[in-house]
Amino acid sequence: MSSGRSHPCFFFYVIATVVFACGAPGAHAQESVDQETRKIEYLIHEVRSLQGAQFFRNGVGYDGNAAADHLRLKWRAAGPRVSTTAADFILLCATVSSVSGLA
């Protein structure tokens, strides 16, 4: 596939754009956590819904369903390290493999 959607960094750009478009978290701590959780859920949903896109992990392309499932698994496994912000989720779960270090 020759579109920009197959580029390894496409996923990061999509997520970063959505997060920054969502605005700053709310004033109260729990509202802030809830808002960040909704942002992460939305990002995973959007990845799943991208028809024809390929997401690369360790040099292998995957469709949106497989990519979303993998992101949710990484989010769960990361636990408290990414539970506070969507930006942490992007940096720690969505941009690089924690196993191979590849984008």
Tens-of-pLDDT digits for all 103 residues of the chain? 444 555 555 666 566 655 555 554 444 566 777 888 899 999 999 999 999 999 888 888 999 999 999 999 988 888 877 767 888 888 888 887 777 777 6
pLDDT at 67: 93
Enumerate residues 6+ apart whose C-beta is below 8 A from 80.
none
pLDDT at 25: 46
pTM for this entry: 0.67
Question: What is each CA distance from 98 to 73, 80, 89, in whole angstroms?
Answer: 12, 16, 13
Amino acid 98 reads: S
pLDDT at 65: 95
